[in-house]
Amino acid sequence: MEDSTTLKQEKENQQLAEAVQPWEEETAASPQDLGPESFGPWEVEWAPDPGPRPRSSRARTPEPVGPVAEQAASSSPPSPQKPLSTLARQDLGALRQLDRITNGTLDAGTPLSDPPGQSTDARESAPPSQSGQDTSALTQQPDPSSKPSKPQELRPGSAQEEAWSSHQNRDQPGPKASEAAPSTLEIAVQNAKVYLLRASSKTGLNLYDHLSNMLTKILDERPENAIDFIETISQDVKMAHFSKKLDTLQNENEMLPTYEMAERQKALFLQGHLEGADQELEDEIAESSLPNVVESAFYFEQAGVGLGTDETYRIFLALKQLTDTHPVQRCRFWGKILGLEMNYIVAEVEFREGEDEEVEEEDATEAEERDNGESEVDKDEEDELPKSFYKPPQAIPKEESRTGANKYVYFVCNEPGRPWVKLPSVSPAQIVTARNIKKFFTGRLDAPIISYPPFPGNESNYLRAQIARISAGTHVSPLGFYQFGEEEGEEEEEVESGRDSFEENPDFEGIQVLDLVESLSNWVHHVQHILPQGRCTWFNPIAKNEEEEEEDEEKEEPDYIEQEVGPPLLTPISEDLEIQNIPAWTTRLSSSLIPQYGTAVLQSNLWPGAYAFCTGKKFENFYIGWGHKYSVDNYTPPVPPPVYQEYPSGPEIIEMDDPSVEEEQAFKAAQEAAELAPEDNEETGEGEDDADN
Amino acid sequence: MDAESLLLSLELAAGSGLGLSPDRRAALLTSLQLVKRDYRYDRVLFWGRILGIVADYYIAQGLSEDQLAPRKTLYSLNCIEWSLLPPATEERATQMAMVKGRFMGDPSHEYEHTEFQKMTAEDDVVVQVKEETRLVSVIDQIDKAVAIIPRGALFKTPFGPVHVNRTFEGLPLSEARKLSSYFHFREPVGLKNKTLLEKADLDPSLDFLDSLEHDIPKGSWSIQMERGNSLVVLRSLLWPGFTFFHTPRTRNHGYIYVGTGSWSIQMERGNSLVVLRSLLWPGFTFFHTPRTRNHGYIYVGTGEKNMDLPFML
């Protein structure tokens, strides 16, 4: 027992001396160097043979730290303290003794096997002054083949001991303490440092570096009340270890989309003037076609509507790009429609004379319709089976471009900088169907619209239909700004729905803003109303039926359809229909505090998101929202179409009973009676048979 | 959105057209500071505005140090004078379910609706409800349904209260596109029902709220055995498009959901801004700039829930 304790002392002292030296030489500035390499001496020490052994990547934790701490602890009470001079002398023989011990144990081949759990328990329960009992257990050589699990178990114990020992040291009164204090304190400090510098067997990190990194971070960043969130700082420092190292083989492409978009938008800002053209002429063109988006955005901002400043400006530049690349007569920023994945920025455009790019697509659709018609006609009556009598209802044709709902052409893009896409012209069927469905926009123009009733087209058609409906409902202007054109009005007399063209009134003097706020009759619609048929001008579907009437005479004459009439152009919005006690429009003054410089703001309750402002002379309309109409009640899908009734049971359906025996006998008798009269009927009968065959 | 970073937040949320006019903005910046002082709030949020026919309600919320504690809600018609709203109750919420249509903009306006009483079969009782109480219940419903925060913006302290995480540096881009990295800003509901296995992956200081990915309302299900009992198919009736399949006695199972949740996530301004817009409560916008601490939400709308969602997706 004694032998072992002295051995232990020697070993510990020797270790301390060895361990302390490098750290005293080390500066705190390079704590990384105290990695696994610093355990070199111990590894050699504890190695079963002192020869060079491959250093394991995993840092071996030195075992004797625990006992060392105890030693310090037990020495602070009046146990005989070894002077430091003895340490040096013992160091000399330490290695030799160590070799002897290790060899001895290896020769013996029976290393003391002590279950780690027991030893720690014993050690923790034992008072530190009587730690001889468990230190004997601890002096045993670790079996080199056994896993170094023990040190981990010892760690908490040793930590406790250290705390206790330092506490004792501080509280010790008397001269003895002052003598022993420097050494014990020093030893305790060193022990603590050794403990802190132990690398975790799992991650290889040690607490000393971690704490110094944490403090560095805190001192660098100087947050307020750092103590309140020290835990998260610690977590961040740990996380930083696992941060992705840049792979030299491949660049990080996480930011690529950002750069790509920035590149696209940079092109907006780099739009140069068209070179070669006369400067003044060019300016005229630009002024006439490009809307003053920034000015109207300013007024809308007063009203509390609109987009952010920078987005507005980007859209402005994008519109400039549009007017530069297309033969645009007039352009307007229509608004923004929100979608699930991307949004739509919508520009309303009127082309200069001689544009039509739509001819091709229109031709294609007409050709399709014709093909369908012809295919039905081409079927000669080869079989006598009845064909289907059902004919689809008369397709109502599109309105010509530049008239009605197709008066303007709409361009959309998902983001300013992306290419503008021209929306197709709208057909009445699409508008009629769009009134019956309610769908979110996805942001992809080619997305299918899955709905009941089936929508004839994809999302681009649905978007175009909604734009047409919103424009027809919510585009308003102050009374007197537009007036009917003189010469065109007479031509349009045949159409009873009123004249459909207007021009700016050059003598418009403006309206008082307060009047605009107080009375809805000072605002008028300047876009044609869309009839239930889906067109702005009435199309009579019966007129074309005359050709077909010859074929099916049995078909009932369709009733004369009453012509649908909507409110004429330039009708005041005070006559708009209410939505179940909710007025269709709300007017406000943009600033109640400074009314003399306010603008009149009009917002639609029927199409939430549609706004208009008027400053007396200037006015503008704007829509931003999901593109849906407001309804007090929830959406209800349309009812399914009526079920077709079957044929009524008439004489052509009901069959007679089979001929009975009596009838046949009577018939035979009648035949025989008839045969007596004519004689030459056999030949004719044969002849008929031949003809039948 | 936080009252202190109101200007930046308004600029970021402007993509949905939810602006404030300059005079309102200036008034808010002034008055919210005073609200914070007078009511002794730790944080003041500008919650949004509810559009009425005559006037708008501007809503602000005061938070104590514990972020999940019950919030005090204030409303104002002119952005200067604020009045405190009473707390919402379940009873009021059921009453409010009867009321439809737009807000008027007058807190003393009374809605009338007839309630059929089963006890007395004689006549219906006319119940009158003030618009103020309707405002309370609508705000509470919206808060419970859609108020959200990014993961990591709040953390749970060891003592229980939830604090603002001051080391939050924004979601990384890869996470910002996922619904799972956004949480409901309310007491968790679905978290208790999680299995131990699910909880094992959660970081208790960060994942203490319901994430949005479990946002599908618990609806009725149709269970069918197909292909001669070799396949079980579950279909959601409330959310058409959600199908779960499982082959019994094998490990094959999975589900597919064609459609979106009740949220729309978009990356805007060249991927430098994430915007979530609620489809269930149109007008609610949440934004977050990845890799910065800017986030917030604002509601500008008519205070009506979108009941047509299943048709519209």
What residues have CB less than 8 Å from A238, skipping those under 6 apart?
A205, A210
State how far the Cα of B21 lies from the Cα of B15, in Å rounded to an integer.
Answer: 15
Query: Does the beta-carbon distance from A304 to B53 stay under 8 Å?
Result: no
Lookup: tokens for B179: 């619904």
Residue A288 is predicted with a pLDDT of 63
State how far the Cα of A459 lies from the Cα of A444, in Å rounded to an integer.
Answer: 7
When mean pLDDT is compared across A215-229, B178-192, B217-231, the lowest value belongs to B217-231
Q: Which of A448, A352, A351, A459 is nearest to A414 (CA)?
A: A459
pLDDT tens digits, one per residue of B245-301: 554 444 444 444 443 345 666 767 667 788 888 877 888 888 888 778 888 888 888
Residue A341 is predicted with a pLDDT of 77
Q: Which of B92, B94, B17, B4 is nearest to B51 (CA)?
A: B17
Residue B167 is predicted with a pLDDT of 75
Residue A33 is predicted with a pLDDT of 42
State how far the Cα of B185 lies from the Cα of A3, in Å rounded to an integer.
Answer: 68
φ and ψ at residue B170, rounded to 5 degrees: 90, 160
What is the tally of helices (H) and strands (E) in chain A? 22, 12
Q: How many Cβ contacts (< 8 angstroms) between chains A and B? A: 129
Helices (H), A59-206: 65-75, 84-108, 116-125, 132-138, 150-171, 174-196
Q: Which of B19, B48, B68, B16 is nearest to B274 (CA)?
A: B16
Contact (Cβ atoms closer than 8 angstroms) between residue B245 and residue B233:
yes
**Domain spans of chain B, in order of start:** 5-113+126-259, 265-299
Contact (Cβ atoms closer than 8 angstroms) between residue A139 and residue A119:
no
Which residue in the set B17, B269, B312 is minimally distant from A624, CB to CB?
B17
Query: Does the beta-carbon distance from A311 to B15 stay under 8 Å?
Result: yes
Put simply, the chain A residues between 504 and 523 with a CB less than 8 A from any chain B CB are none
Angle between helices A2-25 and A65-75 (to 10 degrees): 100
**Mean pLDDT of the residues in chain B:** 74
DSSP B80-112: SS-EEPPPP-HHHHHHHTT--S-B-S-TT-EEE
How close B167 gets to chain A, by Cα (Å)? 7
Q: Which of A399, A359, A631, A439 is nearest to A534 (CA)?
A: A399
State how far the Cα of A394 lies from the Cα of A545, in Å rounded to an integer.
Answer: 9
Residue type, B123: D
**Domain spans of chain A, in order of start:** 288-356+392-484+501-539+564-625
A638 shares contact with chain B (CB less than 8 Å): no
CA separation (Å) from B206 to A194, A627, A682, B198, B211?
34, 38, 108, 14, 11
Minimum Cα–Cα distance from A218: chain B residue: B167
What's the pLDDT band for B221 if we cut at 50, 70, 90? very low
A193 shares contact with chain B (CB less than 8 Å): no
How close B33 gets to chain A, by Cα (Å)? 21
A624 shares contact with chain B (CB less than 8 Å): yes
Residue B259 is predicted with a pLDDT of 38
Residue B8 is predicted with a pLDDT of 72
Residues of chain A with pLDDT under 70: 1-182, 243-258, 272-288, 354-383, 486-500, 543-561, 679-693
∠ Cα A489 A495 A498 (to 5°): 55
Residue B166 is predicted with a pLDDT of 76
State how far the Cα of A499 lies from the Cα of A489, in Å rounded to an integer.
Answer: 5
Q: What percent of chain B has pLDDT over 90?
A: 3
Lookup: tokens for A52: 């060079």
Residue A424 is predicted with a pLDDT of 93
Query: Does the beta-carbon distance from A338 to B165 stay under 8 Å?
Result: no
SS (H, E, C) A638-688: CCCCCCCCCCCCCCCCCCCCCCCHHHHHHHHHHHHHHHHCCCCHHHHHHHH
Which residue in the set A235, A308, A632 is minimally distant from B101, CB to CB?
A632
Q: Which of B165, B42, B46, B17 is nearest to A610 (CA)?
A: B17
Which residue in the set A302, A306, A586 is minimally distant from B53, CB to CB?
A586
Residue A669 is predicted with a pLDDT of 94
pLDDT tens digits, one per residue of A41-74: 444 444 344 444 444 444 444 444 444 444 444 4
State how far the Cα of B147 lies from the Cα of B286, in Å rounded to an integer.
Answer: 8
DSSP B204-247: TTT--S-BGGG-S----EEEEEETTTTEEEEEESSSTTEEEEE-
- Secondary structure class of A304 (helix, strand, coil): coil
Identify the DSSP state of B181: G
Residue B274 is predicted with a pLDDT of 84
Query: Does the beta-carbon distance from B269 to A236 stay under 8 Å?
Result: no
Minimum Cα–Cα distance from B164: chain A residue: A229
Query: How many CB atoms neighbour CB B216 within 10 A?
Result: 13
Residue A661 is predicted with a pLDDT of 94
Examine the pLDDT at B31 and tell me if it is beyond 50: yes
